[in-house]
């Protein structure tokens, strides 16, 4: 019985390591996306009124 429990714990730990790795990949991709979006905005004033809506149409 102890071997079964030990085996299950090892499997659980392995799965948790996989999940952690995937979460770290997602986090790093989100950081990259945020950096790209920030670079696209350039030197725009963050408090200025937007010139376009999120769908790309111009604000009138």
Which residues touch 58 (CB under 8 Å, ≥6 apart)? 51, 52
- Tell me the pLDDT of the chain averaged across its residues: 90
| pLDDT value at residue 12 | 97
Instruction: Identify the band that residue 51 occupies on the pLDDT scale cut at 50, 70 and 90.
Output: confident
Q: pTM for this one?
A: 0.59
Q: What are 27's two structure tokens? A: 């986090």
Helix (H, G, I), strand (E, B) or coil at 2: helix
| pLDDT value at residue 1 | 66
DSSP per-residue letters across 3-54: HHHHHHHHHHHHHHHHHHHHHHHHHHHHHHHHHHHHHHHTT--TTSPPSB-T
For the cut 90, the answer to whether the pLDDT of residue 43 exceeds it is no
Residue 47 C-beta-side C-alpha neighbours within 13 Å: 0
pLDDT digit string (tens) for 22-39? 999 999 999 999 998 888
């Amino acid at each position: 019985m102890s071997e079964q429990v030990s085996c299950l714990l090892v499997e659980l730990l392995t799965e948790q390591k996989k999940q952690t790795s995937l979460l770290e990949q997602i986090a790093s991709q989100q950081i990259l996306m945020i950096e790209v979006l920030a670079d696209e905005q350039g030197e725009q004033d963050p408090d200025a009124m937007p010139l376009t809506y999120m769908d790309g149409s111009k604000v009138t």
